[in-house]
Structure 1
Amino acid sequence: MDSALSTVGLPVALGIIMFGLGLSLTVEDFRRVGRHPKAVVVALVCQVLILPAVCFAIVLALDLPPLLAVGMLLLAASPGGTSANLFSHLFRGDVALNVSLTAINSIIAIVTLPIITNLAIGWFDLDDSVSLQFRKVVEVFVVVLGPVLLGMLVRNKRRAFADAMDKPVRIASAVILAVLVLAILIDQRENVGTYLAQVGVAATAFCVASLTVGFFVPRWLGVTDRQAVASSFEIGVHNATLAIYVAVEILGSTQISIPAAVYGLIMFFLAAGWGIVLTRFVVRDRATGPAPAP
């Protein structure tokens, strides 16, 4: 990938996205976890344990090349993306729960992301060519969490400004992800057809699995429909930008970022389609209307 884009563009892009996340967070979002522990715990178990296992089964079943397989597991280990809140609001999920899950999961990922990714690197025998040192990951998340804390501070001091910036930052986040995906595909243009053929099915299967597991497992365990919808989008809409950043900046491999780039192309369409299915055919308490924004 172009050096200017990777050394300047990626950190700035990730910073803007995480600052936008911070603008939507308050201390109360963390306190809320204690009032809804079951929904939070079930969603986090799905995110941290079930999804990596499902993703691992997918890459083995499809016999992906090692670098792409590691990229898929890196994506699975990434926390939910900022767009999850928007999808949850559109399709009548508990948006407040989304915000709490994003906040908690982003912190937990400091530990789980390097563990899952390093296990994948070891399994696919990439130790000599790729390494994800825990120290580097901590540095990345300091850079990531810094803008989040700044955004929370701005919201605390200038709530009107934070509310006004919510929509522009969400739009900017989507545009930034689109630019990153395009840059990766251009950088790998000689092999892009092969990569898309190899990882397109895997990324689609993983996205579908993430959305469905995120809804049905919590509901089977007694979580309310609105909370299950929130969980579905929080688990199904991964932070592809973070996965791309780690792949390119920390692992030094554009190939490893390909699954996240492909996922970034398809997840919005699949999430929107899934939301329509949920609201028309699955969710029973549709009359309650959209959850209020936190």
Structure 2
Amino acid sequence: MGSAPVTLGLVLLLVSTMLTLGTALTAEGFAVLLRRPRALVAAAAVNVVVVPAVAVALVNGLGLDGPLAYGIVLAAAAPGGGTGTLLAYHARGDLPLGVSLQGALALLGLLAVPAWSLAAPYDGAAIGGTATAQVIAMLIAQLIPIATGMWLRARRPALAERVQKVSRKVADVLLVTMTVYILATTATQLTTIPAAGFATFVLLSLVCLAHRSG
């Protein structure tokens, strides 16, 4: 499986996920979120500031450097993808908050990712602003299926239920397939990661889980 099929699979995963969420969302849900904006601001601050800062502290404290440290910091600072909202859907979480946070992080990431990349102990070039058009395109690709799903839920609820069942199954299958493929194709590289690298992954994951359970 080359890069083109992988890219197509990720795009289909994003679209099917957003369509699934759209058929489960209502305008009333976003109205409730607007009455408590502190939840959105707090969640964005944790993702853009707290988690990347912890990542920088860990890679420096554990003596990591080079591409590994750079990758960990970038992963911590990168905007959340559609898989987060898909998992929130399955967990019966706050979907309006999840969708709004996803959009906010995509925009904030245009500044956060290059800024935090400079804090990584690596001489590689920081990410520039060339990805702006791609981020905007991805936002549009998310908004269209979400809006379509919400329109179906409001106007054709029976059809929305049928569409949701299909799009949810497609999203779940694609998520599992892409995860297995990525793990299979990168398995040999895992042996090159030092123990401190795995420790950083675990500690950073615990920080994220502690935030979400708090």
Partner Cα separation in structure 2 for residue 14 and residue 179 of structure 1: 14
Q: 1:132-157 CA distances to partner (integer Å, 9 max, x unpaired)?
A: 62222222222232222222222222
Q: Is the 8 A contact 1:13 1:176 kept in 2?
A: yes
Q: In the alignment, which residue of structure 2 is the partner of 1:119?
A: 115
Partner Cα separation in structure 1 for residue 194 and residue 153 of structure 2: 40
The equivalences for 1:232-247 within 5 A come to none
Q: 1:136 to 1:126 in 2, by over 3 A?
A: farther
Q: In the alignment, which residue of structure 2 is the partner of 1:101?
A: 97
Task: Confirm or deny that 1:210 pairs with 2:208.
Answer: yes
Q: In the alignment, which residue of structure 1 is the partner of 2:174?
A: 176
The equivalences for 1:50-129 within 5 A come to 50-62=50-62, 63=64, 65-66=66-67, 69-70=70-71, 72-79=73-80, 80-87=84-91, 89=92, 95=93, 98-123=94-119, 124-127=122-125
Q: 1:115-171 CA distances to partner (integer Å, 9 max, x unpaired)?
A: 22222444434328x656222222222223222222222222222333345455444
**TM value normalised by structure 2:** 0.77
Query: 2:97 aligns to what SS in structure 1?
Result: helix
Q: Is the 8 A contact 1:77 1:112 kept in 2?
A: no
Q: 1:9 to 1:125 in 2, by over 3 A?
A: same
Q: In the alignment, which residue of structure 2 is the partner of 1:159?
A: 157
Superposition RMSD in Å: 3.0
- Measure how far apart 1:32 and its partner are: 0.9
Partner Cα separation in structure 1 for residue 52 and residue 11 of structure 2: 26
Partner Cα separation in structure 2 for residue 23 and residue 167 of structure 1: 10
The equivalences for 1:249-260 within 5 A come to none
Query: 1:82 aligns to what SS in structure 2?
Result: helix
Q: 1:203 to 1:141 in 2, by over 3 A?
A: farther
Partner Cα separation in structure 2 for residue 137 and residue 104 of structure 1: 15
Q: 1:36 to 1:191 in 2, by over 3 A?
A: same
Q: 1:74 to 1:8 in 2, by over 3 A?
A: same
Partner Cα separation in structure 2 for residue 61 and residue 171 of structure 1: 42
Q: 1:22 to 1:68 in 2, by over 3 A?
A: farther
The 4+ residue runs of structure 1 with deviation greater than 6 A are none
Q: 1:244-282 CA distances to partner (integer Å, 9 max, x unpaired)?
A: xxxxxxxxxxxxxxxxxxxxxxxxxxxxxxxxxxxxxxx
How many residues get paired? 207
- Measure how far apart 1:71 and its partner are: 5.1
Q: 1:226-252 CA distances to partner (integer Å, 9 max, x unpaired)?
A: xxxxxxxxxxxxxxxxxxxxxxxxxxx
Identity %: 26
